[in-house]
Amino acid sequence: MAYSIDTRTLKSGDVFIPVKGEHFDGHDFIPEALARGASQVLDVNLGEFSAAHRQKYNIPVIAVTGSSGKTTTKDLLAAALGQKYNVVKSDANQNNEIGVPLTLLKIDEKTELAIVEMAMRGRGQIDYLAGLAKPTHAVITNIGRTHIELLGSADNIARAKAEVIRAGMTIFLNEKDAYYQYLADTAAARNAKVAPYSSARILDINEAAARTVAGYFGLSEAEIAAGLKPCQPSPHRQKISERGGVIIIDDTYNANPDAVDFALQALRETPAKRRIAVLGDMLELGAWAEKLHKQVDVSGIDLVYTLGRLAARIPCHKNFTDKTQLAQELQNILRPGDAVLVKGSRSLGMETIVQELLN
């Protein structure tokens, strides 16, 4: 049985759950849902209903959270574990108080394992999502500065992410993360088992998490490799293309200080004659915005171009306010052997720059 909260994507036979949000009320769409073929309307609290549904199934549930890399890690996990298990995973970035319940409602009698991505913007939110999903295992990718404007410090962010840790679970932790020891100590205090993972290259850290978790669940190296080989990143997340001898790294899905640091380190590790970074504004940083842009470490990058008022604070070769002009500049200066990274906040739409380069 499939559940839907959106008449735009509802399929004939789905059960429609009318959800009331800040800007809409699902009850207003009940006639449309029935007209589109909904088998029934279920007027329930989405969170409570999904939690009760999850409790019907005695299966491993892996929560995936962290400041960055959640979606990539979730996708890699599903690809690897899918070689042995019937897996349910969060779609796209359905990782909030609506997305997590919808993921839990996909679990059925055929499901052998569920992978649930969890995001947060403040204290208590991961605790709420974990309360619904009751994870038996969890992955914390890293602790960074995303949402620092709401939580005030990386320490507070670490505390918020640690809400996922439950007694009796196994928690997979990035051994190279600055908050590894804090999270490991927290796990020990809550009677959870720690399984560390690590990698030599930063670009491989999410894959290292997937390999470690898959190995824990009994997959062989051959099975893991077979699962990961065809796995492609989600759109605009470290998508690597090549045109005319130029490596183009499309990481335009979004940007925050930690994701930018990660992307720049990945660029440094990319074999190239010249490494070029194209960085846009990082938004939703509040009073920290100017300081965090100034602190972006572009050492080891040959050329840095920026887009936007805030990104002008990043040490750069040239700042632009127009994407078309920036794309033209890149087309003029790029040559075979270059590697170029394009990254910025979602609202900037910097994927159009990538498309200009690919065309």
Question: The whole model's pTM is what?
Answer: 0.86
329 and 186 in one domain? no
Residue 343: per-residue pLDDT: 97
311-326 pLDDT, tens per residue?
A: 999 999 999 999 999 9
Q: Is the per-residue pLDDT at 269 higher than 80? A: yes
Domain of 338, CATH number, reads: 3.90.190.20
Angstrom CA distances, 51 to 105, 134, 201, stand at 9, 8, 38
The answer to whether residue 169 sits within a structural domain is yes
Confidence bin at 93 (pLDDT 50/70/90): confident
| Residue % of the chain over a pLDDT of 90 | 84
* Residue at token pair 């997937």: 210
220 and 250 in one domain? no
Q: Is the per-residue pLDDT at 301 higher than 80? A: yes
Count of domains forming the chain: 3
51 and 14 in one domain? no
Q: Is the per-residue pLDDT at 233 higher than 70? A: no
243 and 329 in one domain? yes
Pairing of strands 246-250, 239-243: antiparallel
27-48 pLDDT, tens per residue?
A: 999 999 999 999 999 999 999 9
179 and 260 in one domain? no
Q: Which amino acid is located at 183 in the chain?
A: L
Domain containing 207 equals 47-228
170-212 pLDDT, tens per residue?
A: 999 999 999 999 999 999 999 999 999 999 888 799 999 999 9
